[in-house]
Chains A and B, each alone.
Chain A
């Protein structure tokens, strides 16, 4: 599945970089520690988090993640949006909790990690 199909299937909002949704997703990673995401996420993962600081964009770019998915309707900081547009990193948003949306994403992607 690509990011767009996941956005449609899970009813996510696309906050930045709508032109970058054709990327095939390799799996998901749920964590709020940036150092942990840097160490353990994989290329083209969707990263599920509540962090909204601009450094999330740097981490997503560094690790070549497919998208950042913010939970609990968390709104990214202004600088985060600006950086994400510049770098072409899609930021998605859901009203669900990290637990629920991780479960739903897992159901879509199967046992891929």
Chain B
């Protein structure tokens, strides 16, 4: 049966150097429940290492957690990769890690904490997650698709680190699945401003708890999965975006 799912597909955790340490799995899951969110996309910068903890923390609340990663291309364009399969997300992460130079400077950029579902520290990630990979934009999208994922250009309304901010336009030949806008702009306004062939979605890009759910996309789906969202973006089999 098709029903409405409220999704915030772009949430950072305490693993992102710019994410607040309060962004622990349990706190994120509880805030999502408070905001009546059904689907969470956990997309840390260039890493998916905190997704398993989120999946576990959100389970009691019947919130679907999608395994995500926000990959920075060599053009410094941020692309969300969302996967149904945790292993696929880790394979995307491995490919990104291989092409991610540098080491994090914690004082400058912040701590990168990998945690379990209880928020206990498992390890500190030392990679320069805030940095850009050396993968070209086309390669990033190709990588995500090769692992059956959804490739969405992050916060295209923003000047920094966005497809339109960095390149000035949406390349016709780039096979993205959609564009995301930030809470700074409404979906209606975004549709007027970006008359794109691609579906538009809204995501909070939350780095702090209070930002979770500030922008959401409502889908008509049969289940809270990437496969179902893919159908909705193509308006197939009754699935669709509602807002």
A residues at B contact (CB < 8 Å): 33-35, 38-39, 51-53, 55, 58, 61-62
Residues B108 and A35 in contact, CB atoms below 8 Å apart = no
Known: A34-B131, A53-B161. 17 other contacts (CB 8 A): A33-B132, A34-B76, A34-B132, A35-B76, A35-B101, A35-B131, A35-B132, A38-B102, A39-B101, A51-B159, A52-B159, A53-B160, A55-B130, A55-B160, A58-B108, A58-B109, A58-B130
Map CB proximity to A onto B105-134 as digits: 1 under 8 Å, 0 otherwise. Answer: 100110000000000000000000011100
B76, B105, B109: the one contacting A33 at CB < 8 Å is: B76
Chain A nearest CB, measured from B16 CB (Å): 12
Residue of A nearest to B109 (CB): A58
Instruction: Report whether over half of chain B's contact residues are helix, strand or loop; otherwise say mixed.
Output: loop
Q: How many residues of B contact A (CB 8 A)?
A: 14
Map CB proximity to A onto B73-87 as digits: 1 under 8 Å, 0 otherwise. Answer: 011100000000000
B:143-202 near A, CB below 8 Å = 159-161
Bound CA–CA A36/B127 (angstroms):
17
Residue contacts A-B, CB under 8 angstroms, 29 given: A33-B75, A33-B76, A33-B132, A34-B76, A34-B132, A35-B74, A35-B76, A35-B101, A35-B131, A35-B132, A38-B102, A38-B131, A39-B101, A51-B159, A51-B160, A52-B159, A52-B160, A53-B159, A53-B160, A53-B161, A55-B130, A55-B160, A58-B108, A58-B109, A58-B130, A61-B108, A62-B105, A62-B108, A62-B109
Bound CA–CA A38/B72 (angstroms):
15
Chain A nearest CB, measured from B46 CB (Å): 12
Bound CA–CA A108/B32 (angstroms):
55
Most chain B beta carbons < 10 A, residue from A35, A52, A53: A35
Q: Which residues of B contact A58 (CB under 8 A)?
A: 108-109, 130
Bound CA–CA A62/B103 (angstroms):
12
Bound CA–CA A52/B109 (angstroms):
17
Bound CA–CA A32/B130 (angstroms):
16
Chain A nearest CB, measured from B105 CB (Å): 6
Residue of B nearest to A57 (CB): B108
Residue of A nearest to B18 (CB): A55
Chain B nearest CB, measured from A64 CB (Å): 11
Bound CA–CA A62/B17 (angstroms):
14
Bound CA–CA A35/B7 (angstroms):
32
Chain A nearest CB, measured from B30 CB (Å): 26
Q: Which residues of A contact B101 (CB under 8 A)?
A: 35, 39
Q: Which residues of A contact B132 (CB under 8 A)?
A: 33-35
Bound CA–CA A62/B105 (angstroms):
8
Q: Which residues of A contact B131 (CB under 8 A)?
A: 34-35, 38
Map CB proximity to A onto B39-64 as digits: 1 under 8 Å, 0 otherwise. Answer: 00000000000000000000000000
